[in-house]
Chain A
Amino acid sequence: MATTVAVAKQPKRGGRWSPWLFALPALLVYVAFLVYPAVSSLWFSLTNWDGLSATYKFVGLDNYFKLPHDPVVVTAVRNNLIWTVVTIAVPTIIGLLLAIALNGKVHGKPILRLIFYTPAVLPLVSIASIWGWLYNPQYGAINSFLRLIGLDGLAQPWLGQDSTALWAVMVPAIWLRTGFPMLLYLAALQGIPNELYEAATVDGASKWQQFWHVTMPSLRPAHYIVLALSLIDSFKVFDMIYAMTYGGPGTSTQVMGTWMYFNVFQYYQAGYGTAIAVVITLVAIAVGIPYVRSQTKEAS
């Protein structure tokens, strides 16, 4: 694989402008609908625009200075952090465990794999609907199950109280996000040469030692991809929160993405809202750059 790529680098023909004719349609769309809007958000974040009026004033960095004094921003940052850590760590660990189990001599492997990946293809809004329905305080399956096994005391309005709402939203997120690491780890495990395990066995390594000294090091590229992609993905959280709790109860489940939306479309503070979006986007870019660089380098 790697060698063919290296050999394949050869001088190519073609006019000087021809490549740009191929590149132009995609680049134009990309610039017009992604780059240009993202950059003009930088400008709006420096204004006091309300989102409706024809005029607005340039206010410099005022919107940014206001952020730390906004209690909801503090909540949102905290929620984003919890969200990032939990929805990366838990799906990665469950995904790895499932992959290891599936990699053994298991019956019905394709159907099991199919089941575990299924939530990942569903629309986020439908996942939110399904779980909102499961969490229903009166008729939801979760409270019914708790009552059925005699734990009536644990039945509660999961999405309706500050103490549980964010965690209740993270459960479906975990449900949805476990499939991808599982598939990736499964593919990686199947790529580990048999000889490594044979050699380790000859050297008298126990199964546990083999796991830490053969399996885990071999999975390093998979860890990297899973972590990089989950990290990039976790900053984009919006749909689930919006559709399940609408940021509530109160503002307890607001994240930066939803708080941005509420400021722009509910409170008519488009300037302030875009400042929130700019901050989280800069963090997302900073975190994503190593991955983007690795993909660019590999391709060159």
Chain B
Amino acid sequence: MTSIAPARVDLPLDTAAVEPVPTPPKGRRGLVITLVLIVVALFWISPLVLLVITAVRPLADFIGNGPLSWPDQLTWKNFSDAWDIGNFATTYKNSAILAAIKVPLGVLVSAMLGFALAKLRMRFRRTVMFSVFLGLTIPIYITIVPVFIMMRSLGATDSIFGLIGPYLAFGIPFEVLVLQSFFRQIPDEIIEAAKVDGAGDWRVFFTMILPLSVPALVTVAILDAVATWNEFLFALILLNSDAHKTIPVGLLNFQGQFANNNTGLAAGILIAVVPILIAYTLLQRWIVGGLTAGSLKG
């Protein structure tokens, strides 16, 4: 999903800030378009709105009045039921630990490779670049059988640590693509100047490149965290005990158990998506900027 996006991140800008295309003054026409868009947007977001309404009403109320009615009664009980039965305390912890290890590690090694590709004289540079970017096109399922065998022989099945390697590998192509193109925009002169002063490649990387690239690093980290949080297939084949499941696999189980409890199911789905919705709302500037800015200038 967010595993691939175009190259080149500039400083993330709020794209709404610029409006060069001439349109009639904000008059009646703007109002009509706004109204149409509001209707479309309400329709677009209605599944989530229905989900919230359903999650806060008792099951009897839902069945009695139907899914499209306004609740007669409100309750939080669905959330506590779903939280306990859905094992969310465990799956949350697992997903969070996984993301906390995987994302910084992935961004660091990708930044190092991106730096080598963008700023160091490296042999076979284009071959390496092509081979790494080609990873964007590889579907995960071509690797699941060998990865499963590998993890079994390492004794790393049914452990979130067994997921770190495959997750890193499938994140690297995108992260390197974005980061190396950002590093490329850093003028060589300042690197040369630092080297004249005796700084080695490592010092340049840690004290100049990384601090200058914070916007790109943040964007990549956010997109990578979303992808890690949402990954399903590797988690499905490698994790089997409830104690080690991540949010997506846990949610799927939960869905089976709550097939006849619509309000509990709605609460469970919300529990699984609320953190990502909050993070998205707070960080959307970075996501939007990262996905679009600069990608079209080439």
Contact = CB atoms under 8 A, between A and B. Distances in A.
A91 interface: no
B185 interface: yes
A38 B138 contact: yes
Given A13-B195, A144-B66, A277-B142, A292 B133 contact: yes
Given A34-B169, A44-B145, A197-B21, A118 B262 contact: no
Contact of B137 (A25, A105, A285): A285
A26 B269 contact: no
B40 to A, nearest CB: 8
Interface in A269-300: 270, 273-274, 277-278, 280-281, 284-285, 287-289, 291-293, 295-296, 298-300
Contact of B135 (A10, A20, A34): A34
Contact of B141 (A233, A261, A285): A261
Interface in B242-276: 247-249, 251-252, 255, 262, 265-266, 269, 272-273, 276
A293 B126 CA distance: 10
| Secondary structure dominating the interface of A | helix
B137 A175 contact: no
| Secondary structure dominating the interface of B | helix
A184 B50 contact: no
Nearest to A51: B145
Interface in B12-30: 14-16, 18-26, 29-30
B160 interface: no
A243 B138 contact: no
B187 A8 contact: yes
Contacts of B233: 238-239, 261
A219 B178 CA distance: 21
A267 interface: no
A288 B191 CA distance: 35
Contacts of B19: 103, 105, 190
B23 A19 contact: no
B172 A29 contact: yes
Contacts of B269: 126, 129-130, 133
Interface stretch (A71-79, A160-168, A221-229): A221-229
Which of B201, B205, B277 neighbours the largest number of chain A CB atoms within 10 Å of its CB? B201
A186 B230 contact: no
B166 to A, nearest CB: 5
Size band of the A side of the interface? 35 or more
A237 to B, nearest CB: 9
A116 B42 CA distance: 10
Contacts of B38: 108, 112
A296 B145 contact: no
B162 to A, nearest CB: 10
Contacts of A10: 188, 192
Size band of the B side of the interface? 35 or more
B80 to A, nearest CB: 19
A108 B172 contact: no
A101 B251 contact: no
Interface stretch (B71-79, B108-116, B212-220): B108-116
A184 B291 contact: yes
A233 B143 contact: no
B293 interface: yes
Interface string B128-164: 1111111111111111111100100000000000000
A44 B265 contact: no
A184 B292 contact: yes
A186 B16 CA distance: 9
Which of B7, B68, B184, B269 neighbours the largest number of chain A CB atoms within 10 Å of its CB? B269
A116 B173 CA distance: 27
B37 interface: yes
B68 A124 contact: no
Contacts of A208: none
B165 A26 contact: no
A37 B150 contact: yes
Given A38-B143, A235-B137, 20 more contacts: A12-B188, A19-B121, A25-B109, A26-B109, A29-B169, A30-B173, A37-B146, A101-B33, A105-B23, A105-B30, A105-B33, A113-B288, A121-B287, A194-B21, A239-B232, A243-B232, A257-B139, A289-B137, A298-B298, A299-B180
13 contacts: A11-B121, A32-B165, A41-B146, A114-B284, A139-B66, A180-B291, A184-B6, A186-B15, A189-B21, A194-B21, A221-B298, A229-B4, A235-B139
Interface of B: 1-2, 4-7, 14-16, 18-26, 29-31, 33-34, 36-38, 40-41, 44-45, 47-48, 50-51, 62-63, 66-68, 109-110, 112-113, 115-123, 125-126, 128-147, 150, 165-166, 168-170, 172-173, 176-177, 180-181, 184-185, 187-188, 191-192, 195, 200-201, 205, 226, 229-230, 232-233, 236-237, 247-249, 251-252, 255, 262, 265-266, 269, 272-273, 276-277, 280-281, 284, 287-288, 291-298
